[in-house]
Amino acid sequence: MDPNQTSIQTDTPRQRLAVALDLPDAEQALALVDRLDNTCQWFKVGMELYYAAGNRIVHQLRDRGFNVFLDLKLHDIPNTVAGAVRSVTQAGASLLTIHALGGAAMMQAAAEAATRPGSPRLLAVTVLTSMDSTQLTGIGISTTPADQVLRLAKLSQSCGITGMVCSAEEVGTLRAELHPSTLLVIPGIRPTGADTQDQKRTATPAQAIAHGASMLVVGRPITQAHDPAAAARAILTEIEQAPKTTA
């Protein structure tokens, strides 16, 4: 990993859970953060919130002592993505996503742009957890999600990307096939009995951790819960009690 990139600790359950703040503005996002009452350490800012609130929300979360995962899923020509990585670096996020489907040249340009001091660690999104085989076929990809994830993860690694986003269904294979220090970040997390909504490749927090996840991303099961802090605490307990993995 580039020494200039922010190092990511995944020793405690709190360090392994990112809450997806998929909310329309900073006011609602910060109100949710307040309701969580310091239960969680990481917040994921995705397109919905970032397009509304910009770098200011990243600064506001950091000023409150939280880590920020900027999920912008960059996917454009190499020059444009490299520029976006440099612009976003100024916001102070610790993690930033790019789309592996952008290809090797794009990922290499992003990795090169993320060597500046204070750069976020890059995560390559492989196959969205909302996609299954049928949806992949619909965009002309005839392999299974598992094969496509592995292919894109290996390509990302060869481009100098040291973290990937995949589903819990693939994380065990990636943990075995990739460098042991690879950060494997898993969305599509649903506690037992929870509604899967638009997600297709889902797993419980315990399953994802047991299969080798470094970090989990959880949105609606926490943000739409009657008591978000209680929902987050239950997931943290599940992470604590699941078999331990490295990285």
Residues designated catalytic: 73
> What is the C-alpha to C-alpha distance for residues 242 and 146, in angstroms, rounded to an integer?
23
**Residues 212, 184 contacting (CB under 8 angstroms):** yes
The distance between the two most distant Cα atoms of the chain, rounded to a whole number of Å, is 46
> What is the C-alpha to C-alpha distance for residues 70 and 58, in angstroms, rounded to an integer?
8
Where do runs of H (alpha helix) occur along the chain?
A: 26-36, 47-63, 78-89, 104-113, 133-138, 145-158, 168-177, 205-210, 220-223, 228-241
Query: Helix or strand or coil: residue 74?
Result: strand
Which of residues 116 and 220 has its CB atom nearest to ligand C5P in the complex? 220
Residues lying near ligand C5P in the complex (CB under 6 A) are found at: 20, 22, 44, 46, 71, 125, 128-129, 165, 187-188, 199, 217-221
**Residues 230, 243 contacting (CB under 8 angstroms):** no
Which of residues 154 and 220 has its CB atom nearest to ligand C5P in the complex? 220
| Least distance in angstroms from the C-beta of 47 to ligand C5P | 8
Which of residues 101 and 165 has its CB atom nearest to ligand C5P in the complex? 165
> What is the C-alpha to C-alpha distance for residues 148 and 151, in angstroms, rounded to an integer?
5
> What is the C-alpha to C-alpha distance for residues 244 and 31, in angstroms, rounded to an integer?
33
Which of residues 119 and 126 has its CB atom nearest to ligand C5P in the complex? 126
Which of residues 102 and 219 has its CB atom nearest to ligand C5P in the complex? 219
**Residues 229, 35 contacting (CB under 8 angstroms):** yes
β-bridge mates for residue 95, sequence order: 69, 121
The CB-nearest residue to ligand C5P is 219
- Identify the CA nearest to 39 among candidates 23, 15, 68, 11: 15
